Amino acid sequence: MLLKGKSAIVTGAGSGIGRAVALAYAREGARVIVSDIAEDAGKETVRLVKEKASGTDAVFVRADASSPTDHAALAQAAVDRFGALHIACNNAGIGGELNFVAAMSVEGWRKVIDVNLSGVFYAMQAQIPRMLQAGGGAIVNMASILGQVGTKGSAGYVAAKHGVLGLTQTAALEVAEQGIRVNAVGPGYIDTPLLDSLSPKVKAALIELHPIGRLGRPEEVADLVVWLSSDQAGFVTGAYYPVDGGYLAR
């Protein structure tokens, strides 16, 4: 088991990629703090963790990704429950308002920046001191293919994900000598419940954007996150790993 004896936090773990990461962490032996703003969904993830990775401890802690107070409580919960914090996957995010720059509301801009960018900052601010107490650790921040390129009508999301990459690199440089690695993952379009509302035509158009000819699966992102969180990636920090079916290679 790659993460045996480790304790981890996963934000936005109530569904999709976050749930897949929580399950993968548990499968590899980690004890997991499952966090989400949606309590029922988060508790269902805990149930699945205990069902699929018997003997692994997991607990749900509700947290709003845009709240620095919630992030501090979340990181402390890992220490209180498991004795230390070794790993964090800062996955929580929202799509936000879809609008051109000139038409986007200030409220819509602030909301997506608060969750998708400031939320990662608040998370690391709480996680890093506790990882230092544990003698080191690994942080994986969930960016996006849109952390590397732009797209029309999603100014807040694109700006936030670009910011996550810069924030990841900066944090990685600051804590590299102290035994903490910080990396980012950039999923392409992943087949999660968030896409269920799309029409077959729109979904087909999304598939065409990926040279591999299909959407990604949450488990494929989770496997990369596990590797980055493990000692197998011990010389990897400040990096950005797309998992995008060739989207960025076009």
Active site residues per annotation:
157
Contact partners, residue 168, CB within 8 Å, separation at least 6:
120, 141, 143, 182, 183, 184, 238, 240
Q: Which residue has the tokens 């040279």?
A: 211
169-174: long-range pairs with CB below 8 Å, 24+ = 169/238, 171/124, 171/128, 171/139, 172/237, 172/238, 173/238
Neighbours of 176 (CB within 10 A): 13
Q: Residue 83, class by beta-carbon neighbours within 10 Å (0-12 exposed, 13-18 middle, 19+ buried)?
A: exposed
**Rounded Cα distance, 157 and 142, in Å:** 12
CB 34 within 8 A of CB 9: no
